[in-house]
Chains A and B, each alone.
Chain A
Amino acid sequence: MEVLETKELCKNFGSLEAVHRVGFKLEKGELRSIIGPNGAGKTTFFNVLTGMLAPSSGDILFKGESIAGLPPHQVAKKGIGRSFQITSIFPQLTVYENILIPSMLYYSKNGAVNRTWEILEDVDLKDKANVIAANLSHGDQRHLDIGIALTTKPELLLLDEPTSGMPPEESIRTVKLIQRLKSERGYTIILIEHKMDIVLSVSDRITVLSLGEKIAEGTPSEIQASDEVQKAYLGGLDKEYKMGNNRQKKLAGNGQEILKLEKVNSFYGESHVLRDVSMKVGEGEIVALLGRNGAGKTTTLRTILGLTPARSGSIHFGKDRIEGLPPETVANKGISLVPAGRRIFANLDLMENLELPFFMKGIDSKQKRSQIEQIFNYFPGLVERKAHKGNRLSGGEQQMLAIGRALMGNVKFMMLDEPSQGLAPMIVKHLAEIVQEINKEGVTILLVEQNALMALELADRVYVMDKGEIVYEGRPEDLWANRKLSQALLGV
């Protein structure tokens, strides 16, 4: 019988349907992977399963019994253990306590102790039992996270990107751990993972989510073959699309570099995200930065802007070095960011959102007006939305607004993070054209995308990241021509 079954499971945040009518069946002992581009609703799906979020509608059956809407601690007691995408442990306690204390809820005193050593054995942290968790290496912390999940006598184990932020060699160790948990300990496992090689190697079956809907399910081989999946990753443009046909010839001759990264390393806490990243962007170029999520693309943008300061390496913008400068200073040098998820100020209306960047920049009203008009030329659709509060705009409108907002002030260099995310293909096309127009106006563009095709269509040059490193640099058509390479790098 099924260990887990979801029926028509939905979760909405306001108008956004993060999880939409997902039906999902899981056999005992199975290892199922869930993949899908950013914003596909994978983590939300986990949160709903574990009771951290109540489902908007639909039902969850665990071993035939409905657990929809139960509080997390009861779900856990029923036997669903979970690890987290962002490491979630008890930092100031020792590794031993981290495991022991939760176990005590499920085992007698001695039982708990034995169990703890068992688990420490499994996640091989036995020799680090007395270390304060906060002082563990990132990899070990990820393992500890899984270890904690094991304390709850789980029959079903939900692992959310167990290898995120890990260097390759450590990921291998983690993969071994997962396989061991499945084969030797007989756990039923659902795995969210972006590293395709891992997914393909460990999974029995794979479920693909996109925009909150289940678009495909099957064995690894089936999934690789499936068009649906290609679409999901390619953003709904057909494969015969010809590269760069509508890219106008550029005087990329002068080769003036506007941005230059050299051997940049940056971290989230312990997790080493960017590894010796070096890249160049020439004035007037459109450069695409591609890679699966978790590859470190967004972090690169944050590092450039100084939101996640680089620990080593240098970043030049035009003449001056900008690493280590406070973000607002960097921004005022003319770098702007269109963040993933747009981050429109919901409590301000469209105009207010647009005008915000002018604050204390000493820009005369004439220039302001012209810039705003410019935006409305790009996006005529926004005009009659002027007075709408941010949260009442559609996804597309929000994206347009976000781009417009990023162009206010004297911007030389615009970075877009996943502009196509969660948008219908038509809108994506339109955005693509506008981005080109903006570029024509002389704004250099760094485009971060999973939606490979849109990027490949626009870009003059392409960088591909994987596991925090730049693994490819070249012209888009070359990358595209080399199907094997693009397959490997982009899962396309």
Chain B
Amino acid sequence: MSAPRVWFETIKTNAYFQLTILSIIVLLWPYIIPFIGGYDGLAIEMVIFAIFAMGFNILLGYTGILSFGHAAFFGLAGYSMGLILIHLKIPILLGMLFGIALATVTAILIGFLIIRKTGIYFAMLTIAFGQMFFFIASRWKDFTGGEDGLTGIPRNVIGIPGLFSISIFESRRFYYFIAVVFIIAAIVKYKLIHSHFGQVLKTIRENETRAQMVGYNVQRYKLLSFIISSIYAAVAGTLYGLFLNYMFPQTLDWIRSGDVVIMTLVGGMGTFFGPIIGAGVIVALRVLISIYAKIKGMVYWQFFMGIIFLAFVLFFPKGIWGFFQKRE
């Protein structure tokens, strides 16, 4: 335990060091992952969900609000990007922007409606609204492709017309596109949680009334945190759509929201690296379990996932990263 402890302490000391290490790992990942039985597709999924979980942690870990509906923003962004890319052949980056913008607006509206509710009640409401989008996606056949999902989302070249353009069709290249997005997202989050804003979120998590009594408009900060986390979800969603060239209703399902909660908690709530690790572990596990842990030729990853999750909830609520972290 002391070895990781030391290693952890050094990491802890220097921000740029941390981010550099992280970036290097992410950039080398496709070359490492085959050794854990992975492949590019898996690497891509890990990074996408790392982005998702990283943002979700802003809400759950730093503000202390549990949402069970963030898959809605993930899926919504993916779908709207897909639709606009398919129907009016605009550049991919533009399409992504559109998807993210739409999801954000939705987040703002829903946020306004429910942000004043707290704790479990809030969680339930997020589930409910998430499901609304799930059913719209799975029923509005003509528009969303219904249960068939939305096929034929293009993934050819990214770029700004006239300036530059790179093909991201090939998996490896697409991975590096995502990796760049991830690193940017990571830096932004890092800045964010170390900014005044991030500090205030912490005070809200610690003691909402007091935060209010020293003059912070708690509701506004909570709403902002909700929106920002949704933006991260949206970014992940658009990338996911590009990754599969395809969106399907189950991406909006509350079970998917549950996944990101699991990732964040297993990795370690309120820590910077926790959710990233959590996402990696869970995504990897799902694939590895479905490859190696067949019972009567059937896959029961939900079972294993559930057990692991229960173990963390009951015994190490601080998650993997929190487990290494020195308890004050």
List the interface of chain A (C-beta within 8 A of B). 50, 52, 71-74, 76-77, 81-82, 84, 88-93, 97, 100-102, 104-106, 132, 135, 148-149, 151-152
Q: Is A50 a contact partner of B213 (Cβ separation < 8 A)?
A: yes
Q: Is B142 an interface residue (CB 8 A)?
A: no
- The verdict on A152 contacting B207 (CB below 8 Å), with A97-B199, A104-B196, A132-B328 known, is no
Q: Is A90 a contact partner of B216 (Cβ separation < 8 A)?
A: no
Q: Is A90 a contact partner of B202 (Cβ separation < 8 A)?
A: yes
Min CB–CB distance A152 → chain B (angstroms)? 5
A74 to B220: give the CA distance in the assembly, Å: 13
Partner of A73, one of B196, B202, B206, B216: B216
- The verdict on A92 contacting B203 (CB below 8 Å), with A73-B212, A105-B214, A151-B214 known, is no
Contact with A along B170-211 (1 / 0, CB 8 A): 000000000000000000000000001001101100110111
- The verdict on A101 contacting B199 (CB below 8 Å), with A73-B218, A76-B215 known, is yes
SS of B interface (majority): helix
Partner of A72, one of B196, B200, B203, B213: B213
Additional 11 contacts, C-beta under 8 A, given A73-B216, A93-B203: A50-B213, A71-B212, A76-B213, A84-B210, A90-B202, A90-B211, A91-B206, A100-B199, A101-B196, A105-B215, A152-B214
Q: Is B214 a contact partner of A93 (Cβ separation < 8 A)?
A: no
Q: Is A73 a contact partner of B210 (Cβ separation < 8 A)?
A: no
Give B200-249 interface residues, CB cut-off 8 Å to A. Answer: 200, 202-203, 206-207, 209-218
Min CB–CB distance A365 → chain B (angstroms)? 40
- The verdict on A89 contacting B210 (CB below 8 Å), with A97-B199, A104-B199, A132-B328 known, is yes
Min CB–CB distance A107 → chain B (angstroms)? 11
Closest 7 CB pairs of A and B: A76-B215, A90-B206, A102-B214, A101-B199, A88-B210, A72-B212, A77-B215
Q: Which A residues are in CB contact (< 8 Å) with B216?
A: 73, 102, 105
Q: Is B207 a contact partner of A82 (Cβ separation < 8 A)?
A: no
Scoring B209, B214, B217 by chain A CB atoms within 10 A of each residue's CB, the highest score goes to B214
Q: Which B residues are in CB contact (< 8 Å) with A52?
A: 209, 213
Q: Which A residues are in CB contact (< 8 Å) with B212?
A: 71-73, 76
Q: How many B residues touch the partner, as a band? A: 10 to 19
Partner of A152, one of B199, B202, B215: B215
Q: Which A residues are in CB contact (< 8 Å) with B217?
A: 71, 73
Contact with A along B68-80 (1 / 0, CB 8 A): 0000000000000
Q: Is A91 a contact partner of B203 (Cβ separation < 8 A)?
A: no
Scoring A101, A132, A148 by chain B CB atoms within 10 A of each residue's CB, the highest score goes to A101
Q: Which B residues are in CB contact (< 8 Å) with A74?
A: 215
List the interface of chain B (C-beta within 8 A of A). 196, 199-200, 202-203, 206-207, 209-218, 328
Partner of B203, one of A77, A81, A101, A132: A101
Partner of B210, one of A71, A90, A100, A135: A90
Min CB–CB distance B221 → chain A (angstroms)? 10
A97 to B196: give the CA distance in the assembly, Å: 11
Min CB–CB distance B321 → chain A (angstroms)? 16
Min CB–CB distance B133 → chain A (angstroms)? 32
Q: Is B206 a contact partner of A92 (Cβ separation < 8 A)?
A: yes
A20 to B73: give the CA distance in the assembly, Å: 50
A184 to B210: give the CA distance in the assembly, Å: 26
Q: Which A residues are in CB contact (< 8 Å) with B328?
A: 132, 135
Q: Which B residues are in CB contact (< 8 Å) with A132?
A: 328
Min CB–CB distance A181 → chain B (angstroms)? 17
A105 to B206: give the CA distance in the assembly, Å: 17
Q: Which A residues are in CB contact (< 8 Å) with B211?
A: 90
Chain B residue at smallest Cβ distance from A145 = B210
Min CB–CB distance B111 → chain A (angstroms)? 18
Q: Which A residues are in CB contact (< 8 Å) with B200?
A: 101
- The verdict on A93 contacting B206 (CB below 8 Å), with A104-B196, A104-B199, A132-B328 known, is yes
Q: Which A residues are in CB contact (< 8 Å) with B207?
A: 88-91
Q: Which B residues are in CB contact (< 8 Å) with A152?
A: 214-215
Q: Which B residues are in CB contact (< 8 Å) with A73?
A: 212-213, 215-218
Min CB–CB distance B55 → chain A (angstroms)? 22
Q: Is B209 a contact partner of A88 (Cβ separation < 8 A)?
A: yes
Q: Which B residues are in CB contact (< 8 Å) with A72?
A: 209, 212-213
Q: Can you list 26 A-B contacts with CB-CB less than 8 angstroms, sorted by A residue number?
A: A52-B209, A72-B209, A73-B215, A73-B217, A73-B218, A76-B212, A76-B213, A76-B215, A77-B215, A81-B214, A84-B210, A88-B207, A88-B210, A90-B203, A90-B210, A91-B206, A91-B207, A101-B196, A101-B199, A101-B202, A102-B214, A105-B214, A105-B216, A148-B210, A151-B214, A152-B215
A73 to B206: give the CA distance in the assembly, Å: 17
Chain B residue at smallest Cβ distance from A106 = B215
Chain A residue at smallest Cβ distance from B214 = A102
Min CB–CB distance B262 → chain A (angstroms)? 23
Q: Is A93 a contact partner of B202 (Cβ separation < 8 A)?
A: yes
Q: Which B residues are in CB contact (< 8 Å) with A84?
A: 210
Q: Which A residues are in CB contact (< 8 Å) with B203?
A: 90, 93, 101-102
Q: Which B residues are in CB contact (< 8 Å) with A50?
A: 213
Chain B residue at smallest Cβ distance from A84 = B210
Q: Which B residues are in CB contact (< 8 Å) with A148?
A: 210, 214
Min CB–CB distance A246 → chain B (angstroms)? 48
Min CB–CB distance A149 → chain B (angstroms)? 8
Chain B residue at smallest Cβ distance from A112 = B196
Min CB–CB distance A73 → chain B (angstroms)? 5
A73 to B212: give the CA distance in the assembly, Å: 5
A100 to B210: give the CA distance in the assembly, Å: 14
A77 to B216: give the CA distance in the assembly, Å: 9
Q: Which A residues are in CB contact (< 8 Å) with B209?
A: 52, 72, 88
A92 to B211: give the CA distance in the assembly, Å: 14
A72 to B215: give the CA distance in the assembly, Å: 7
Chain B residue at smallest Cβ distance from A158 = B213
Scoring B207, B211, B216 by chain A CB atoms within 10 A of each residue's CB, the highest score goes to B207
Q: Is B202 a contact partner of A102 (Cβ separation < 8 A)?
A: no
Q: Which B residues are in CB contact (< 8 Å) with A90?
A: 202-203, 206-207, 210-211
Q: Which B residues are in CB contact (< 8 Å) with A91?
A: 206-207
Chain A residue at smallest Cβ distance from B200 = A101
Q: Which A residues are in CB contact (< 8 Å) with B199?
A: 97, 100-101, 104
Min CB–CB distance A225 → chain B (angstroms)? 37
